[in-house]
Amino acid sequence: MSTEIYYFSGTGNSLYVARELQKRIPETNLIPMVSLLDKDIIETSGETLGFVFPIHGMTVPIPVKKFIKKLHLKSAKYIFAIATRAATPHRAFIAIEKILKKNGKVLDSFFTLNMASNDPKFEDWHPATGEELAELESEVKNKLDSIQNIVLNKEKSREKDTNFTVPVNFVLERLVLLGMAFAEYDGAKDYFYSDSKCKGCGTCEKVCLSGKIKMVNKKPVWQENVKSYMCYACLNYCPAQAVQIKSKFYMNSYTEENERYPHPYATANDIAGQK
C-alpha cells in the first residue's frame, strides 16, 4: 500500500509540498526525479504514485516530462499530480495525461497550488513578503488537507488547469512548446552569466540540477553542451545575487535590479540533495 512521490524543485516550493504530503500520507517515500533522470527506464514500486513539480512556461518542466516518459508504471494503481505555480493558467496535466495514456494509465487526480514566484527577470518583480508567504502557506496547507483525504481514499479529483478555449489552447500549446525549446537552446548558450559580485563560492554549481554549471578558475561556467533544466536554482541561491539572466527571449531582464526568492524552509543543500 506504499506511496511514492516523485518531485522536482528549483527553489523549494515543490519540495515543501512533497514534504508536507509525506507527513500526511503514511508509508510515503519521497524520490527526487533528478536522481533518476539518467536511467533509460525507471521502475516504480508504489501502488500510489504522485508527481510534484513547478509550472515552467505554462506547462510541465522539460526534465519532468522526460522523467514521466521513462517510467515503467506496472505497480501503479492510483496516480496524482500537483503543480506549484506563481499565477498563470497552464497545460501541465493535459501534457502528463497524454504521456500516461501511451502507457495505458490515467492521471486519476490533479491539483494546482499557488505559491511564491521564483522568476526575478520581470520588471517590478519582488520576492513574496513575509506576510504574503504566510498567507500562501496557510492556503497551501488547507488545500493539502483535502488533497490528503482524496489521495488516501484514491478518489478522482480533476481540477481545470486552463481557462482557454479549444482553438486558443491549440495555438498556445504550440507557442509554449516552441518557447520551451528556445529556452533550452538559449540556456545552452549565454542565457545565464555571473557578474562582478561573484565571490567564487561554488553554490551555483552545487545547486545546478542539470549539472550545467562547472566552476573554472573560481568562476561559474554554464557549459554549452549541457542543457539547462531552467529551474533557476543558481539564480535564486547565489548568496551574492551575482547570477543574472541575459535573455534574448524577453525584451529586458531585470535580474540585476531585483532580489531573489528561495523558499524559506529550503536550503541550498536541500536543492542539491536532489542529484
Ligand X SMILES: Cc1cc2nc3c(=O)[nH]c(=O)nc-3n(C[C@H](O)[C@H](O)[C@H](O)COP(=O)(O)O)c2cc1C
Does residue 160 bind ligand X (CB under 6 A)? Answer: no
- Looking at the chain, the number of H-run helices and the number of E-run strands are 8, 12
**Residue 194 contact, options ligand SF4, ligand X, none, Cβ 5-8 Å cut-off depending on partner type:** ligand SF4
For residues 8 and 181, what is the distance between their CA atoms, to the nearest angstrom?
A: 19
Whether residue 36 contacts residue 67, with contact meaning beta carbons closer than 8 Å, is answered with: yes
Which of 5, 6, 13, 207 contacts ligand X by CB under 6 A?
13
Does residue 209 bind ligand X (CB under 6 A)? Answer: no
Query: Of residues 218-257, which lie at the interface with ligand SF4 (CB under 6 A)?
Result: 220, 238, 240, 242-243
Closest separation in Å from C-beta 1 to ligand X: 27
188 vs 215, which CB is nearer to ligand SF4? 215
Closest separation in Å from C-beta 109 to ligand X: 19
For residues 112 and 129, what is the distance between their CA atoms, to the nearest angstrom?
A: 21
Inter-CA distances, 144 with 137, 193, 264, Å: 10, 37, 19
Query: Of residues 81-100, which lie at the interface with ligand X (CB under 6 A)?
Result: 84-88
**Helix, strand, coil shares of the chain as percentages rounded to 5?**
35, 20, 45
Does residue 267 bind ligand SF4 (CB under 6 A)? Answer: no
Closest CA to 67 of 41, 104, 49, 91: 41
Does residue 269 bind ligand SF4 (CB under 6 A)? Answer: no
Which of 179, 202, 211, 273 contacts ligand SF4 by CB under 6 A?
202
Does residue 199 bind ligand SF4 (CB under 6 A)? Answer: yes
| Long-range contacts from 218-225, C-beta under 8 angstroms, 24+ separation | 219/194, 220/194, 222/187, 222/190, 222/191, 222/192, 222/193, 224/188, 224/189, 225/188
For ligand X, the binding residues (CB under 6 A) are 9-14, 54-58, 84-88, 115-119, 230-232, 263
For ligand SF4, the binding residues (CB under 6 A) are 194, 198-204, 220, 238, 240, 242-243
